[in-house]
């Protein structure tokens, strides 16, 4: 995402912990980053478009891969808005030393001329091992809100259009809708997906590409790619 960084504010936090006792070893890692500021991109194109997606892969005897994506593009009174969020979650359980794993990744790409952009990224990894079994968990999420308030040639209504709240589009829900049960609560190899993609107004579009795979006692995989645009 090519965005001018001179006036943007970015903050990142990373936490990593490891604990061991006589029977259990646990490792946790979590990262959060937030960026807020003007978002004029270098594409020079009219309108806004966003691509959001990722992957969740779990390998082991019992596995779960899931995703929840919400995206909306709208055009109203000269104001163009895009809001999107994606959550990917993977969990696996297998015999210690069996080579199981849980892996997730997510991304958002924005193109077009936006007056304001807000992005939030969050990743988390966790593993817990005993002499008999190991549990792996991974999550990755992205959130985006972008708005183009229109040019100086637009009417006064467009210039006074609120960024959020009473407008047609509001920032996407950031609550994680992805099932993230304790691994002990289910058996087998499962895949879940919950995707809501909306395009409102003139010159808007939305697209979805999704694939999911579960193999008994081996793995669960889900890949998703959503595109929304306006203008």
- Per-residue model confidence as pLDDT tens digits over 136-157: 999 999 999 999 987 655 444 4
Residue 3 lies in a domain: no
Residue 226 pLDDT: 97
* Amino acid 23: pLDDT: 67
* Strand pairing report for 219-230 and 204-215: antiparallel
Domain assignment present for 4? no
pTM of the model: 0.79
pLDDT value at 100 more than 50: yes
Q: Are 179 and 192 in contact, with CB atoms under 8 Å apart?
A: yes
Residue % of the chain over a pLDDT of 90: 48
Higher pLDDT, 193 or 150: 193
Residue 106 lies in a domain: yes
- Quote the CA–CA distance of 120 and 162 in Å, as a whole number: 21
**225: nearest Cα among 43, 56, 55, 94:** 55
Q: What is the pLDDT of residue 144?
A: 95
Of residues 103 and 3, more confidence is placed in 103
Mean pLDDT for the stretch of residues 117-141: 91
In-domain check, residue 1: no
Confidence grade of residue 5 (pLDDT, cut at 50, 70, 90): very low
Is the per-residue pLDDT at 164 higher than 70? no
Residues in the chain: 231
pLDDT of residue 103: 95
170, part of any domain: yes
Is residue 8 over pLDDT 70? no
- The overall average pLDDT reported for the chain is 80
Total count of domains within the chain: 1
Tokens 């892996």: give the residue.
103
Flag whether pLDDT at 193 surpasses 70.
yes
| Range(s) of the domain holding residue 131 | 9-230
pLDDT at 30 over 70: yes
Q: What are phi and psi of 169, to 5 degrees?
A: -105, 140
> How far apart (Å, rounded) are the C-alpha atoms in residues 135 and 40?
43
Residue 70 has pLDDT above 60, yes or no: yes
**Token pair belonging to 154:** 């637009």
157 or 194, greater pLDDT: 194
Question: What percent of the chain clears pLDDT 70, i.e. is strictly above it?
Answer: 74
Q: Per the domain annotation, does 202 fall within a domain?
A: yes
Torsions phi, psi of 118, nearest 5?
-125, 130
Whether 2 is covered by a domain: the verdict is no
Over residues 59-74, the mean pLDDT reads 94
> Which run of H or of E encompasses 191?
strand 189-200
Backbone phi, then psi, for 98, in 5-degree steps?
-85, -10
DSSP-derived pairing of the beta strands 79-95 and 62-76:
antiparallel
- Please determine, for residue 42, whether its predicted confidence score (pLDDT) is greater than 90: no
């Amino acid at each position: 995402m090519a965005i001018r960084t001179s006036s943007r504010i970015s903050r990142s936090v990373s936490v990593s912990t490891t604990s061991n006792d006589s029977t259990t070893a646990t490792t946790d890692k979590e990262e959060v980053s937030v960026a807020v500021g003007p978002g004029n991109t270098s594409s020079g194109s009219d309108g806004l478009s966003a691509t959001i997606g990722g992957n969740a892969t779990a390998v082991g005897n019992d596995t779960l891969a899931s995703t929840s994506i919400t995206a909306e593009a709208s055009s109203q009174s000269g104001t163009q808005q895009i809001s999107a969020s994606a959550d990917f979650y993977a969990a696996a359980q297998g015999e210690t030393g069996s080579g199981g794993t849980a892996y997730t990744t997510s991304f958002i790409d924005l193109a077009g001329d936006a007056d304001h952009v807000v992005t939030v990224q969050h990743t988390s990894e966790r593993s817990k091992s005993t002499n008999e079994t190991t549990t792996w968990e991974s999550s990755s999420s992205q959130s985006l809100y972008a708005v183009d308030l229109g040019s100086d040639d637009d009417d006064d209504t467009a210039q006074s259009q609120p960024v959020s709240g009473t407008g047609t589009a509001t920032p996407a829900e950031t609550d994680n809708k992805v099932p993230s049960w304790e691994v002990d609560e289910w058996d087998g190899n499962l895949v879940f997906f919950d995707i809501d993609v909306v395009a409102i107004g003139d010159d808007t579009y939305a697209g979805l590409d999704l694939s999911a795979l579960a193999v008994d006692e081996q793995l669960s995989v889900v890949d998703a790619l959503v595109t929304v645009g306006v203008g």
